[in-house]
Amino acid sequence: MPSDSQKSSRVNRQSVYTLLVEVGRKKGDGLPDGATGAALMCYSGGIDEAEAVRETVAILKQADMAPLDVSGYGTLQERLDEGHDISGEERRLMQQAQDDNAVIVARVTPFFED
């Protein structure tokens, strides 16, 4: 079993990535009636973006969601380097994802047919 220092080292090497996940419909997904799917803005930690994507997809599947596509927007620093405006609330959620080693779903935008 890893020691506390090994666990701490692993968490410290992780970065939090901003991910936009498109989900379809699945029974029990919790999306509103009439929605055809949704976009979920998520913050997830990982050694790299691929690990963050894998963790996010696994958690969403456990929550009866149907992930279809994931777009990565990078770490906080990468986004700042690209000129993104990042609110205090967004930074707080990223820090929470880091501190709790969790996937945070920050925003859900349902899709509806016209």
pLDDT digits (tens, 9 = 90+) for 97-114: 999 999 999 999 999 987
pLDDT of residue 9: 47
Q: How far is CA 88 from CA 17, 49, 91, 93, 105, in A?
A: 16, 22, 5, 9, 16
pLDDT band at 12 (very low <50, low <70, confident <90, very high): low
Task: State the average pLDDT over residues 66-81.
Answer: 96
Task: State the Cα angle at 68 between 66 and 71, rounded to 5°.
Answer: 125
In total, the chain counts a number of residues equal to: 114
pTM of the model: 0.86
Residue spans of alpha helices (H) in the chain: 4-13, 49-62, 76-81, 88-100
The mean pLDDT value for 44-73 works out to 96
d(CA 104, CA 92): 11
Backbone angles phi and psi of 25, in degrees to 5: -95, 145
Task: Give the strand order in the sheet containing 15-24.
Answer: 66-75, 15-24, 35-46, 103-112
